[in-house]
Amino acid sequence: MTSRNKHIILKTKGLSIGYTSKKAIAVIAEHINIELKQGELIGLVGANGIGKSTLLRTITTIQQPLDGEIDLNGKPLQSYSGVALAKAMSLVLTEQLMSKNLSVLELIALGRQPYTNWVGNLTEDDISIINTAIEQTNISDLKHRKCFELSDGQLQKVMIARALAQDTDLIILDEPTTHLDMYHKAYILKLLQQLAKETNKTILFSSHEIDLAIQLCDTMVVMTNDTVISDTPCNLIEQGVFETLFPEDLIGFDQKTGSFRVKK
């Protein structure tokens, strides 16, 4: 299947993001036109403070857009009820859990909340989906442990499993490799790549691991001071987009290797 024929899960048109106050409107980025296609791993990258988290918060309705449109599965994002949105989009944040006293199984089961009845009883289908999510993230050996017993890398896999159990078309992760060492950064992003292919879900993540994202992503969304551009990593390299991310005096981008280097 070519990318042209893939279903568009999320689309923005003329989107402007930022903050409003009584005194002024602070525009972080504008004229954002991106398409997130089904079954793709998409990396959102850019320098610190460029607005990656603001874009994710806007896409996930945590904050309102300043202007423009966001469509999810062909419907305006604002038309979704809370429950309908929770069945279409799941979110993995970097914030600490409110209660790490939950078991791994209990935490993953919370992903089924949009589908359970008012007392939260799990059906056989719910349990099957939970078990599948556990298998897909390779954490069967952890499911009876308490969350406070887990390492950062293990906990991140559990949070991804909870998002899988929520069974949404779109999974959004804000800095999923924060606090992880290089091995576990690569492991988590490789896992996300595998899950996008196996489940045909659209997975969007923000990251500072640009070199890894270039190697693993189907599509990348790059935020610069001037624009937001979305394309395949190869096309972005050819267009010289990555060379504009950081000041030239210290950091350079090697198009041949697809990686950044410190200038001597």
What is the spatial distance between Cα 201 and Cα 192, in angstroms, rounded to a whole number? 10
Average pLDDT, stretch 106-133? Answer: 91
Average pLDDT, stretch 243-264? Answer: 84
Q: What percent of the chain has pLDDT over 70?
A: 96
Which distant-in-sequence residues (6+ apart) come within 8 Å of 191 by Cβ? 137, 138, 157, 160
- In this predicted structure, the answer to whether residue 52 has a pLDDT above a threshold of 80 is yes
236 within a domain of the structure (yes/no): no
122 within a domain of the structure (yes/no): yes
53 within a domain of the structure (yes/no): no
77 within a domain of the structure (yes/no): no
pLDDT at 118: 67
Answer whether 159's CB lies under 8 Å from 111's CB.
Answer: no
| Full domain range(s) for residue 109 | 92-167
Answer whether 254's CB lies under 8 Å from 261's CB.
Answer: yes
pLDDT tens digit sequence for 8-41: 999 999 999 999 988 899 999 999 999 999 999 9
Rounded to the nearest integer, the mean pLDDT of the chain is: 92
157 within a domain of the structure (yes/no): yes
Within 10 A of 19 (CB to CB), how many other CB atoms are there? Answer: 13
pLDDT at 1: 39
152 within a domain of the structure (yes/no): yes
195 within a domain of the structure (yes/no): no
246 within a domain of the structure (yes/no): no
Domain count, the chain: 1
pLDDT tens digit sequence for 56-78: 999 999 999 999 999 999 999 99
